[in-house]
């Protein structure tokens, strides 16, 4: 952190230290912009997000990081007046292409939101909601999926005896893990997390972080966070957004120890934001 930002002038993602076999671009953005009505909130972003890695997106409030995240599985479609330009592809398919099947897209890219948002249904029905949508209807199959997802989300031991109970009776941290399990139940390739721990206490946060570490290598994870310690703890790569612009994108360790841009350094040292 003490090094000069001038040592690395490039804003192009540095991949020098990654082994060749791991360099598979999962999400690719090319000159990708997002507008709310006429306001450009994400400005001409170019980046590759690597498969099976944890990528953190950091930046001050209102910098467009959540907007970008949500655009990956087109959750921004819900916001009236939201339009995009440029290219964004997932697994090589244009996310905003004309023939895209949004249901299939969202099955590929699951999302976990800032506030835990389980349905007001039973724990079982929460997890089974996705599989049911995608055609799994037989009870034994559903039970298998539910158990597998809950185990993956490290929630199984806590809830296995009360699957018929309402999901809202769980604690906040449990609810968030339930939401992760719910996303995992549709077997996505990529897991988008929009500040998943900002509404949780430190203990629950730690559990979620452990969970993310466990999921590392199985899924491509993109996590938006305000918490820089968290980003440094759990991510392989970090992207820094500022006012809709991608300022810097690098492996986490170099970015935090040796940021190439002044703004990045200012932000991670706490001079603003």
Partner 1 sequence: MKITTRKMLDRSFSSFGLFSIVLMILALLVILVPIFKRGSTAIVFNGTVEHRRFLLERFERGDEQEMASEITAIQAAQKPVYDMIEHFENRQRKYLDALNEPLTKLAKRSDSIGRLTKRRLKRLDKNKPFLTNVKTIQKLTDRLKGHVDSDNIQAEIEQLDATIQKIETQTKNLVELKEAIRELLGPAPGETRPVLLRKQYGQTRWDRAQVKLHEVLYIEKWDYSNEGMGRKVFEPRVEHFRGTEIEPLFDYMETNTEAMLRPQLTFYWGFLTDKSMDIHIFGGIFPELLGTVYLTLGAILFAVPMGVIAAIYFSEYARPGIIISFLRICISTLAGVPSIVFGMFGLAFLLNGCHLPKGVLAGSLTLALVILPTIIRSAEEAIRAVPRTYREAALSLGASRWRTVVTVVIPAALPGILTGTVISMGRAAGETAPIIFTAAASVAATLSLNPLQVWDQPTQALSWNIYNLCTEHEAANEIQHVLFGMTATIILVVLFLNLFAIILRARISKKLKGETT
C-alpha closest to that of 3 among 187, 261, 255, 258: 258
From 29, 111, 150, 211, residue interacting with partner 1 (rule: CB under 8 A): 111
CA distances from 193 to 10, 38, 54, 174, 201 (A): 27, 27, 10, 16, 17
Residues 167-206 that bind partner 1 (CB under 8 A): 167-169, 179, 182-183, 186
Binding part of the chain for partner 1, among 83-91, 126-134, 153-161, 255-263 by CB under 8 A, reads 126-134
- Interface residue with partner 1, options 43, 44, 52, 121 (CB under 8 A): 121
Among residues 204 and 247, whose Cβ is nearest to partner 1? 204
Residue 195 is classified by DSSP as S
81 binds partner 1 (CB under 8 A): no
Based on the number of CB atoms within 10 Å of its own CB, is 171 exposed (0-12), middle (13-18) or buried (19 or more)? middle
User: Among 63, 53, 15, 44, which residue's Cα sits nearest to residue 189?
Assistant: 53
Q: What binding mask, one character per residue, do residues 86-105 give for partner 1 by CB under 8 A, x or -?
A: ----------------xxx-
- Report residue 168 as tokens: 């809202």
Alpha-carbon dihedral sign for residues 246, 264, 252, 65: negative
- x/- site string to partner 1, residues 154 to 173, per CB under 8 A? -----------xxxxx----
Query: 133-152 mask for partner 1 (x: CB under 8 A)?
Result: xx------------------
How big is the chain by its Cα radius of gyration, in Å?
Answer: 19
Q: By C-beta, is 113 or 249 nearer to partner 1? A: 113
Task: Give CA 84 to chain center in angstroms.
Answer: 19
Q: Which residues bind partner 1 (CB under 8 A)?
A: 73, 75, 78, 102-104, 106-107, 110-111, 113, 115, 117-121, 129-130, 133-134, 165-169, 179, 182-183, 186
């Amino acid at each position: 952190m003490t090094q000069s930002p001038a040592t690395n002038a490039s804003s192009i993602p540095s991949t020098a230290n990654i082994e060749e076999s791991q360099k598979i671009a999962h999400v690719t953005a090319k000159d990708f912009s997002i507008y709310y009505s006429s306001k450009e909130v994400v400005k001409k972003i170019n980046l590759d997000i690597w498969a099976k890695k944890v990528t953190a997106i950091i930046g001050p409030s209102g910098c467009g990081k959540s907007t970008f995240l949500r655009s990956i599985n087109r959750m921004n479609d819900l916001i009236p007046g939201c339009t995009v330009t440029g290219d964004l592809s997932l697994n090589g398919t244009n996310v905003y292409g004309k023939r895209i099947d949004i249901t299939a897209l969202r099955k590929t890219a699951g999302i976990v939101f800032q506030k835990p948002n389980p349905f007001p249904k039973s724990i079982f029905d929460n997890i089974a909601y996705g599989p049911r949508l995608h055609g799994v209807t037989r009870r034994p199959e559903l039970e298998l999926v539910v158990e597998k997802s809950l185990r993956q989300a490290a929630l199984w031991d806590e809830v296995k005896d009360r699957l018929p109970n309402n999901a809202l009776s769980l604690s906040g941290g449990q609810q968030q893990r339930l939401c992760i399990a719910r996303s995992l139940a549709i077997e996505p390739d990529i897991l988008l997390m929009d500040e998943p721990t900002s509404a949780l206490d430190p203990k629950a946060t730690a559990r979620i972080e452990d969970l993310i570490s466990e999921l590392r290598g199985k899924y491509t994870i993109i996590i938006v966070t305000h918490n820089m310690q968290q980003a440094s703890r759990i991510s392989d790569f970090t992207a820094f957004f500022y006012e809709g612009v991608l300022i810097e994108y690098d492996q986490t360790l170099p970015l935090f120890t040796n940021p190439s841009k002044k703004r990045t350094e200012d932000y991670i040292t706490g001079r603003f934001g």
